[in-house]
Structure 1
Amino acid sequence: MVDAALHPDPCIAFVAASPAAGWARVPLAGDASGRRYERLRAPDGRTAILMDARAEPASLVPFLRIGAHLRALGLRAPEVLAEGEGLLLLEDLGPTHMAAWLSDHPGEAPLLYGGAIDVLVRLQPAPPPEGLVALTPTRAAGMIAPLFEHYAPGTDPRLAAELAGRLREALETHAPEATVLSLRDYHAENLVWRPEREGTDRLGLLDFQDAVLAPPEYDLTSLLRDARRDTDAELRAAMTRRFADLTGRSEGRVAAATAVLGLQRNLRILGIFARLARERGKPGYLALLPRVWAHIQGDLAHPALRRLEPSVRAAVPPPEVPA
């Protein structure tokens, strides 16, 4: 047995002093951040999650704060079992995220996505935590800068400025209100499906430390224009109607807002994924670019983006993905 007090790895000492002392450790797939995760398993089958955020310790403060807020609303963010310096031991919400479940049960997509919409509906009327950055039209338009830095670095600066300006105008028209708590990375791989539970407890929430104030449709857009998995047009339309009906908003208004927000998100994502692939040694992100590009093409067909379409087509070339 390893003497935790003498071992240079702080994770070993942290786990040894936690409720999961002596449990087996199995690495889990990471994300685009510098955080690492492990599933810890007890001999009797109990499990917990070790979050190692020592590379990004500042992310723990918002993670803890937003998690407590979500739990207070009756939503299923993981309970914190132990805290250390840059380390958390978390409740294990389950082994299967939405995307993995739907790979084996594709016919259940309306059920799972409907549950994800219900979580967003729960967030709509709730007063958000104080101190969050507001995703105003000006800020949101400025966030596409990685597109020109990493994906299309040869873009004429005047054209880049024109695109950002027209995007800001479209956001001011169709998504002006940054008033609702947005978990920001709200997609099928960050939602744990728990079919044995009821109501919104069926969905475990992950990766919410980057939460912001945003337009009501922002997380709906993230969910339905997923860079990592395809959603068909019929499902997107049904979930847009569900969101509109349950929030009392007109379907046309929601559709216009999601088109504009979808363009903003995916222009930014092109730049972020290009940077991750070429500067962070993560080439797998290049394989996701065609789907992101397809989302952009679909949203450009919406009348809300009519004035933006020429600027986007002039400034943003299709992705070149290695064979």
Structure 2
Amino acid sequence: MTARVLERFLPDEDATTLFGEDIAVALRPGDILALKGDLGAGKTTLARSIIRALAGDAELDVPSPTFTLVQSYEARIPVHHFDLYRLADPDELEELGLFEATEEGVALVEWPERVGDRLAGAIRLELHDSGEGRLAVIAGPEEAMLRLERSFAIRDFLNNAGELRAHRAFLLGDASLRAYETVTTRLGARRILMNAPERRDEPLLECGRPYSQVAHLAQSVAASVATANAIRARGFSAYQVYAQDLETGLLLTEHLGETPFLSPEGEPVTERYVEAARLLAALHRDAWPKEMPVNDQLVHELPPYDREALGIEVSLLTDWYMPFMAGRPANDAERAGYMERWNRLFARLEHFEKNLVLRDFHSPNLIWRAEREGFDRLGLIDLQDAVCGPAAYDVASLALDARVTMPEALERAVVEAYCAARAEQGPFDREAFDEAYAICATQRNSKLLGTFVRLEQRDHKPFYIKHLPRIRAYLRRAMSHPVLDELRVFYEEAGFLSGDEA
């Protein structure tokens, strides 16, 4: 098989700096980037740009490690800059700790030829003087090359959108395939880049479809565009989409603000949660259309949050959480008894009000904009997985925020604010809402127990496990409603609710 080789032309030093940002976004712990080129070819300039991008500091002092041989920096990913020009013997490489440095970080290595083939598996980047600039030639392991190729495609997308020489910085990766970047234009405006490639190579379930399709998770960024446009059209603060490439899964959108929804100490702020509850009530004032335009040629159909989707989500508890807690998989009888109880609850849920459900309506996806007025103070993000389902679902998502401990008094304040606002709009069946809320809260938190374990065990994202005690506490609250009595007994007997409080 022919090795994958990428080439990028760098006409000047500014282009080399931006190229460093493109590489930095693509790097992952364990990567070794071997930089080759003659003296003055720009290796140190490129390494300096990568380090500054990883550190998020364009003014960071990055001296050449020619005499120290290695210089290390704390950054988004710890980065270690090696210069092997003065290395006397390849065996000294072990003493420098290069391979230990890449266990949790990345290594940038100038003059890798000094150690022969001891950097097998590295990403190899050669800089050549073309007379009119530099030509960068890159080769390396397939997985790393795919990451770099994607990053370079994002640069081309920005250029084609008119954002020439825009600066890029990694913002976050969420619990899905999506990743986000902050883009700063030449004029200093800030944008958000959504990188959401189409879902591929998912394992198939017994039904012959992957989990994401059964759960009605977005298969394309078209859903993000359609939902954001529809919400903006009704006067709420979703992001404006400035440029889109639906085929490759890239969006350039409005940056809604810098202030997180939580306090600077990471605690819930009552005023903000109550206002978000009132916003939900306003979103639910009228029904939403099942069809939402993406552009002049394409329409997105809002999927139903149906029994199949709700059911595959709660199955994560028996598939992932139960083996994690009990040390064994659920048997057929346990799975059948579990789903029988849930199906009876889903049948009840079908009779309650349905409306727009954003699914993850909680603190990570809300931006607080104190300088604005009314609902414009709340910026809405992460809209791509919206469905039509129980109106109570997003209230439960907000009032029992998975990412921060919500005291019972604050949960009640959120619920009461929503219900009061709905009652002001017209007839509102509070008894029906309370039952729907209890079922939705139980469904969501059952799903989250399984999801967080799956993220830790399958996707190697262990920081979600810390939320499990909080989610169990939320489940105990939600299941106090009489409609959950039968399911609660099942959970108690299976030990699903046992554990420390948050």
TM-score, normalised by the number of residues in structure 2:
0.59
* 1:288-303 → structure 2 map (5 Å cutoff): 288-303=467-482
Q: Is the counterpart of residue 272 in structure 1 residue 451 in structure 2?
A: yes
- Structure 2 distance, partners of 1:157, 1:176, is 30
Residue 189 of structure 2 is aligned with which of 41, 46, 63? 46
Aligned 8 A contact 2:352 2:433 in 1: no
Q: Residue 86 of structure 1 corresponds to which residue in structure 2?
A: 249
* Bigger Rg over Cα: 2
Larger displacement relative to structure 2 (110-119 or 251-260): 251-260
The gaps in structure 2 that reach 5 residues or longer are: 1-13, 20-134, 137-148, 200-217, 292-300, 324-328
Aligned partner of 2:166: which letter? W
Aligned 8 A contact 1:160 1:315 in 2: no
Q: Is the counterpart of residue 228 in structure 1 residue 403 in structure 2?
A: yes
Q: Residue 441 of structure 2 corresponds to which residue in structure 1?
A: 262
Residue 289 of structure 2 is aligned with which of 90, 113, 128? 128
Aligned partner of 1:83: which letter? Q
Structure 1 or 2: more strand by fraction: 2
Q: Residue 261 of structure 2 corresponds to which residue in structure 1?
A: 98
CA distance 1:222–1:87, change in 2 (3 Å): same
Aligned residues: 318
Aligned partner of 1:313: which letter? E
Q: Is the counterpart of residue 307 in structure 1 residue 486 in structure 2?
A: yes
- Structure 2 distance, partners of 1:235, 1:215, is 22
- Structure 2 distance, partners of 1:169, 1:276, is 29
The gaps in structure 1 that reach 5 residues or longer are: none
Cα RMSD for the two superposed structures:
2.5
CA distance 1:2–1:15, change in 2 (3 Å): same
- Structure 2 distance, partners of 1:103, 1:191, is 15
Higher relative contact order (CA 8 A, sep 6+): 1
Which structure 1 residue ranges, 4+ long, deviate > 4 Å from structure 2? 3-8, 318-321
- Structure 2 distance, partners of 1:318, 1:223, is 21
Aligned partner of 1:160: which letter? R
Q: Could you give the per-residue CA deviations for residues 12-63 of structure 1, whole angstroms, max 9, x where no partner exists?
A: 1112232432232221122101111111124654211111112549330111
Residue 315 of structure 2 is aligned with which of 145, 164, 176? 145
- Structure 2 distance, partners of 1:266, 1:318, is 11
C-alpha displacement of 1:234? 1.1
Residue 225 of structure 2 is aligned with which of 47, 61, 64? 64
Aligned 8 A contact 1:175 1:261 in 2: no
C-alpha displacement of 1:105? 8.5
Larger displacement relative to structure 2 (127-136 or 225-234): 127-136
- Structure 1 distance, partners of 2:243, 2:232, is 17
CA distance 1:140–1:303, change in 2 (3 Å): same
Specify the SS of the correspondent of 1:28.
strand
Aligned 8 A contact 1:240 1:251 in 2: no
C-alpha displacement of 1:103? 3.6
Structure 1 or 2: more helix by fraction: 1
Residue 496 of structure 2 is aligned with which of 308, 317, 320? 317
Q: Residue 169 of structure 2 corresponds to which residue in structure 1?
A: 26
Aligned partner of 1:278: which letter? Q
Aligned 8 A contact 1:244 1:250 in 2: no
C-alpha displacement of 1:109? 2.0
C-alpha displacement of 1:240? 0.9
- Structure 1 distance, partners of 2:157, 2:498, is 44
* 1:238-253 → structure 2 map (5 Å cutoff): 238-248=413-423, 249-253=428-432
C-alpha displacement of 1:309? 1.2
Q: Residue 11 of structure 1 corresponds to which residue in structure 2?
A: 154
Specify the SS of the correspondent of 1:298.
helix
- Structure 2 distance, partners of 1:36, 1:189, is 14
Q: Residue 176 of structure 1 corresponds to which residue in structure 2?
A: 351
C-alpha displacement of 1:317? 3.2
Identity of aligned residues (%): 31
- Structure 2 distance, partners of 1:105, 1:283, is 20
- Structure 2 distance, partners of 1:240, 1:300, is 16
